A and B are shown apart, each in its own frame.
Chain A
Amino acid sequence: MSDDVRYPSEKPEHPYFDSSFSGMLLGTLVSRFCGGCGYGSIGQLYTRVFEDEKLDPKLYPLVIGIGCYSQIFFLVHKNAQKMLTLHGRAPAVATGMKMANPKMKPIIFSGDGDCLGIGGNHFIHLCRRNLDCILFIFNNSIYGMTGGQAAPTTLYGAMSTTTPYKMFEPRSDGVELALAAGASYVARTTVAHPRTLMKYFKKALKHKGTSVIEVITPCVTYFGRKNLDNLGSKGEKGEIMDTGGKMFEWIKKNSIHINQAKFMSKEELFNKYIIGEFRYDPSKSEYSEEYKKIQNIAMKGD
């Protein structure tokens, strides 16, 4: 295959080509993600919402943690002020930004290893303070960037390079954690439901308080290729999820809406993702507003 065929010289027809950072920087749409990865769609959806809602880039800085999705900056809106932070520390950086400039509403991109593994503490305390920001947790249930190690969210029975026999640890649940810690808007959706993702994102933009949106995304290269769609459970015939399509189907099949899940038993919900909105509480006090009250008290005193 010649290079001309793989990289056509004419400008690709893409509705958000002109808005993307790579379109501006390199003149072509660059994605560094593997085939079947969900991060491309997420970058695209972010750009779409950014464009639709006409977000002011000065007020909505994008704080990106470390993981495969760090490369998402090529796809997100060119005007968005993006910064790459350290592994797991994105919520803490966003806290500093928000408190130093309370007009801002930071948008945090974070992964499952990033937010529930190394940065779990910052995640809990961000939710506890109910700081006005949006936190996306991209959950592909694997450490993709380092080559497919087990994540805290890896499903029971799954294979990874550090669990070569099978995953035996119970998984951590970002939504449960956010609910317990006190985030005021908590939702989970998947890349297979892009319109829902946009809906939740737009709702979070209008919400004042911590919005935690967990997004289930497929990793074909390190999760799908090595796992059967029944995750190795005995007695069932499984199929290797080695294409993006198969993984999307698996995600759809494995996701159960919250209304449906109410009528299901614990065993039935084992290794499943419950999607939907878990909490929407606009009445909960927001941290920077509370601090404003403290400032007023302090300024009044002698």
Chain B
Amino acid sequence: MSNVNGKRFLKPGKYLMMGNVAMAEGALSSGLKFFGGYPITPSTEVIEHLAKRLPEVGGCCMQMEDELASINAVMGASLVGAKAMTATSGPGLSLMTETISMAANIEIPFVFCDVQRCGPGTGFVTVPHHNDIGLTRFAGNGEFEVIAFAPMSCQELFDLTITAFNYAETYRCPIFILSDAYLGHIHEVVNIPPKEEILKRVIDRTIPKDTKGAKFTYEDIKTHKLTIPKPYIVGTEFCPPLIIHLPHNQDGILMPEENSLRFMKIMIDKIRDNIDKISLTEEYKLDDAEIIIISYGLPVRASYRAVDLARKKGIKVGIFRLITVWPFPKEKVKQVVAGAKAIIVPEMNYTGVIAEQVERVTDLNIPVIKVPKVATLHHPDDILKAIEEVAK
């Protein structure tokens, strides 16, 4: 890329970018300083691009000995205050789960990119399969909530990565970006906004001015409301004397048993209470829709076409798109599907993880129709067929 000026931001303008590269640039824009990774198709372009770009901005890109090491190095870097990230695919994700649960428990922010591929082992590495959706929700042992983004274009990979880093700093829980083999390798036009515009969006890692007294506490001293404090940084004043991966109390240090329930409540409720702020969704022609398509990621693109085709035939159909897959916006979905004739959930997996979530919150008499596809994209006709069958 000739327009790289050796700095954190690309010159504003339009670029033809690969999905993985767009995500890496998004991360750099939001101030990425450490990347630990292990090569795994289809996520290799991320580490390749960052190996070149991160030293230019004074950061560090390390190719570690395995996935376990890369995620632990990312955690270590995040502990000392660097914005850190890793990218992998399904097999790497399953290795990393142990550290994900630990990072969630010590509430260390980091962003985790999962470029999903088909199958374990060697698998079909160049074809997409949204088979890690369930794994990301329940990654690791212990109780915690995660936030997962499902972008559908290269522009979104750029933009949502910045949002993901902001969420990591704010909510201090594992943040996933659920890309896939096709989205990661697709080349699309990405519009890079000017530096000032990006900087306005980015939340930086800072230590509070007053580090004494209300250190690491969740309870606002005046109002007694629970708040999410800024993440601590090892190597500064703003750090507890002991960082422990056990239920700890409000001061962030110890693990008395009576605090465990309260600790779990904090871990879960910090996401559940803020679900309205966290959850990003998109609506398309929903106002008079009788049939509702609920989807995320690449199948949404086919759904847009299918809806337009169906509307021409007079079928009232609309799309409710989940930009953040987890936490699942239960109340929002309930409102949207109230009174619908049917719900169609096109997903790139056979299980229908999100379809099950939709079934969980809808009335029993509303049919939830899965349109599964594995290792290949949805054709608009596939979804149109499902719409027409329901509309009969």
Q: Do A and B bind each other?
A: yes
A interface vs B, CB < 8 Å? 21, 58-59, 61, 63, 73, 78-86, 89, 92-101, 103-104, 121-122, 124-125, 291, 294-295, 297-299, 301-302
A95-B62, A96-B76 are known contacts; what are 8 more A-B pairs with Cβ within 8 Å? A81-B241, A81-B243, A83-B79, A95-B69, A95-B73, A97-B80, A100-B84, A298-B55
Chain A residues with CB under 8 A of B74: 96
Mask, B233-276, CB within 8 Å of A = 1, is 01110010111110000000000000000000000000000000
Cα distance, A297 to B76, chains bound together (Å)? 26
Report B-chain residues with C-beta under 8 Å of the C-beta of A302: 2, 4-6
A94: which B residues are within 8 A, CB to CB? 76
Known: A84-B244, A92-B68, A302-B6. A99 touches B52 (CB 8 A): no
24-51 of chain B: CB within 8 A of chain A: 33-34, 36
**Distance (Å) between the CB of B1 and the closest chain A CB?**
10
Q: Are B62 and A61 in contact (CB under 8 A)?
A: no
Classify the interface of chain B: helix, strand, loop or mixed.
Answer: mixed
Whether B58 and A121, one on each chain, are in contact in the complex, defined by CB atoms closer than 8 angstroms, is no
Closest residue to B52 on the A side, CB-wise?
A298
Query: Contacts A122-B69, A299-B6 hold; do A97 and B234 have CB atoms under 8 A apart?
Result: yes
Contacts of A104 in B (CB 8 A): 80, 235
- Contact of A84 (CB < 8 Å), options: B70, B76, B243: B243
Instruction: Give B contacts to A, CB under 8 Å.
Output: 2, 4-6, 33-34, 36, 52, 55-56, 58, 60, 62, 64-66, 68-70, 72-82, 84, 98-99, 102, 106, 234-236, 239, 241-245
CB distance from B338 to the nearest CB of A (A): 45
For the A-B complex, the count of residue pairs with Cβ-Cβ distances under 8 Å equals 137
Contact yes or no, A21 B241, CB < 8 A: yes
Which of A89, A99, A103, A294 makes the CB contact (< 8 A) with B72? Answer: A89
Assembled-state Cα–Cα distance A93/B99 (Å):
10
> Are A92 and B64 in touch, CB under 8 angstroms?
yes
Q: Provide 25 A-B residue pairs closer than 8 Å at the C-beta atoms, listed in order of the A residue.
A: A21-B241, A61-B234, A61-B235, A73-B242, A81-B235, A82-B242, A85-B245, A86-B72, A92-B64, A93-B72, A93-B79, A96-B36, A96-B76, A96-B78, A96-B80, A97-B76, A97-B79, A101-B80, A101-B81, A124-B65, A125-B64, A295-B56, A298-B52, A298-B55, A302-B5
Shortest Cβ distance from residue A67 to the other chain B in the assembled complex, whole angstroms? 15
- Residues from chain A with a CB closer than 8 A to the CB of B55 are 291, 294-295, 297-299
Task: Across the interface, name the chain A residue whose C-beta is closest to B106.
Answer: A83
Question: Which of A59, A100, A291 has the most chain B CB atoms closer than 10 A to its own CB?
Answer: A100
A58: contacting residue among B62, B69, B236, CB under 8 A? B236
Cα A258 to Cα B45 with chains together (Å): 49
Max count, chain A CB within 10 A of own CB: residue among B5, B77, B84, B241: B241
